[in-house]
Amino acid sequence: MQLNQLSASNKTLQNMQNKQVLSVFGGLNTGLRIPEGEWNEEHGVSARNYPVLSTAKPGADTVYETARAAGMVAVHTTDGKSYIAVVTGNGVTFYGNGSLNNQHYNLGLTSASENDLTEQKQVVCFGAYILIWPDKKYINVNQVSDRGAMAFEGSAADSFTIEECREDGSSYTHRTVSATEPSNPVDGDAWIDTSTVSTDGFIVLKEYKATVGEWITVTQPYVKLVCSTNNKRLVEGDVVDISGIPAETTIKNRMQDGQYVVEKSVVAYTQTVTIQIIVVKGIYGSTSAISGDLSVKRSIPDMDYVTVCENRVWGCKYGVVNGENINEIYASKLGDFKNWYFYQGLSIDSYAASRGSDGPFTGAITYRGHPLFFKENYLEQVYVSSSGAHQIVTTSLQGIQSGCWRSAVIINDILYYKSRDGFYAYNGSTPRCISRKLGDLPLSWNNVCAGYEGDVLYVQHGTNVLAYDTQLNIWHRAISEGTYEIVSGFVNKDGELYASWRQVRVGPGPWATVWQLHKFNADTTSGAISWSIKSGVIGLDLAEQEYISRFVIRFATKGSMTLKIQYDAGGTWEDRGTIPAGDNEKIRTYVLNVSPRRCDTCRIWLYGTKKCDIYSITKYIERGSDAAYQ
């Protein structure tokens, strides 16, 4: 059989060289087959100059050396200064540009473990106040002397006394408890009339008015409790638990142990003691002295997670408290983070509601004006009402993973967080997984924290730090794994991202653990950075024994860059050349020839130092014979 001869033009066409230009670069993709321009492995690169592939900003500047950080928050003072408040040791240390810089204030906190880095405090801002859980302590950033415990507790050691008084706290001239009218009364005397106890069980408080010469019934009696050694302040509107009042079973309207609203609070100072006087509604009506402990408490509930919304602090608790199973959501009194049991039928009342969803709470955040309380498989969303008639809606969805409460971050009105099977974006309807390209990488991550700068979400687990561009949907590994260990997460101050890191400082002398506060995306003048990108398998779409003859890379850098190639998706990486460092940042074109040995597929590995911008990678494709190559 005679074969047709190929014309010269057909031969030319057969051997013609083809090229493909890659000028739009993606990010990290751990899949088996990935688009060209995405990378199976990488670090030190970013999408900040998209579609150009650029190195990340050259590292982080050490702003301050700190003690072990157990929580951070950005705050602003009325004098226009801004600070990062870092929970360290027994209190809070401020770092910033004002008079509070590097000042530490003891709040009596329980110090976090130096070794267990998962032990973190919850730190939220409520106006000028920094609130810290689970210690239940606070500090006012505008008046740092206003700091201490949210709760209040006075006991017998504080020498409480109790007696009837007027609404303003003033004492009656003389007090008598009897069933018969006192003789020779004077103006302002008080008579606790017990004559009706045997008939209806009530006692009556009467005050003698000399102007009319009669005993006038006091329709709303008050009592005052005087604490002669206590310097802790209670204020009007506080709800307190009073206990230790002697029991009296025959008098129905006499004060009993229970909750009372402080109607008036007075602090008086003498040369030797501070006196706290609080006035509450009630009638004591006993001639017997108080025996045992008389205690006054303003309690704060135990809570797993807290958030601030609509001038209230909201919190949640799951577990056993005082022998009772608890699965509840709480809200403080309106505008008052110290009162959680104020129930007077008013719009400013505190709030508590039991929930039916299963499992412990895993995180809390305020989103679009709603406090959100997550469980791993549920969301409890609170609809806040100005009248106090709040409502909670339970939704079944992929929630925050246990231990990842610090991963919840809001960027451009979208809530991002770590769930059990990856990272999710939530816009108020259905969460959407954004980490499919990371494959199994985040599945084993727990205790994840996150922060943001601009449109970029930063997530951290141990020494892994990934960056996700929320506008481009591109993941990058921000720094090489193992470089730093972020301890207390991220905080954004004035649009810039900061992180608390732990490093081991090596010699001379003994090694030492150093805790540092870093400006995460510092654009240092040295420009020193290590970067690396490894492609996926190239050549899977080539047909008829086509092969890649060379690569042409256009880039701008002052540093060096090395290219290595791995043939047929396995084996060692072969060095194909190093581009030396240049003297300027002009765009330079460098041609790298792939080995003349043909291959089925290959992968490329580019790495270097200092700032680099890669504008394009061109691959030249030639057609070989139909015979299979070895």
Per-residue pLDDT at 595? 58
The rounded distance, in Å, linking the Cα atoms of 559 and 585 is 9
* Start-to-end C-alpha separation, the chain: 30
- Residue 465: what residue type? V
How far, rounded to the nearest angstrom, does the alpha carbon of residue 218 sit from its chain's CA centroid?
A: 52
The structural domains of the chain, ordered by start, are 13-57+529-623 (2.60.120.260), 59-150+491-522 (no CATH), 153-298 (no CATH)
Q: Binning pLDDT at 50, 70 and 90, where does residue 50 land?
A: very high
pLDDT > 50? residue 363:
yes
Share of the chain above pLDDT 90, in %: 50
Helix (H) or strand (E) holding 574: strand 574-579
Please compute the mean of the pLDDT values over residues 598-620 and round it to a whole number.
Answer: 86
Query: What is the distance between the alpha carbons of residues 170 and 219, in angstroms, rounded to a whole number?
Result: 17
- More confident: 286 or 149: 149
**Residue range 412-450, pLDDT digits in tens:** 999 999 999 999 999 999 999 999 999 998 888 988 999
CA 459-460-463 angle, 5° bins? 150
Identify residue 218 by its one-letter amino acid code.
Answer: V
Cβ–Cβ < 8 Å for 617, 548: no
Residue the block writes with tokens 């929320």: 470
- In angstroms, rounded to a whole number, what is the distance separating the alpha carbons of residues 231 and 479? 51
Alpha-carbon distance of 47 to 112, in angstroms, equals 37
Question: What pLDDT score was predicted for residue 414?
Answer: 97
pTM exceeding the 0.85 threshold for the entire prediction: yes
What is the chain's Cα-based Rg? 35
Task: Give the mean pLDDT of 43-65.
Answer: 82
* Residue 473 CA: distances (Å) to CA of 12, 374, 434, 592: 43, 25, 8, 31
When mean pLDDT is compared across 173-182, 239-248, 266-275, the lowest value belongs to 266-275
**Amino acid 187: pLDDT:** 94
Query: What pLDDT shows up at residue 589?
Result: 66
pLDDT of residue 596: 46
Show Cβ contacts of residue 58 under 8 Å, excluding neighbours closer than 6 positions.
522, 523, 524, 526, 527, 528, 529, 610, 611
- Find out whether 362 and 375 touch, Cβ atoms under 8 Å: yes
Q: Looking at residue 290, what DSSP letter applies?
A: P
Which of 246, 242, 205 has its CA nearest to residue 227? 242
Q: Is 594 left (phi over 0), alpha (psi -120 to 50) or beta?
A: beta
pLDDT tens-digit series, residues 543-553: 767 888 888 88
Closest CA to 484 of 498, 474, 470: 498
Q: Is the pLDDT of residue 310 over 60?
A: yes
The answer to whether the beta carbons of residues 517 and 86 sit under 8 Å apart is yes
Q: How confident is the model at residue 300 (pLDDT cuts 50, 70, 90)?
A: very high
383 contacts: CB under 8 Å, gap ≥ 6: 370, 390, 391, 392, 393
Check residue 331 and give its pLDDT. 97
Six token digits for residue 90: 């027994």
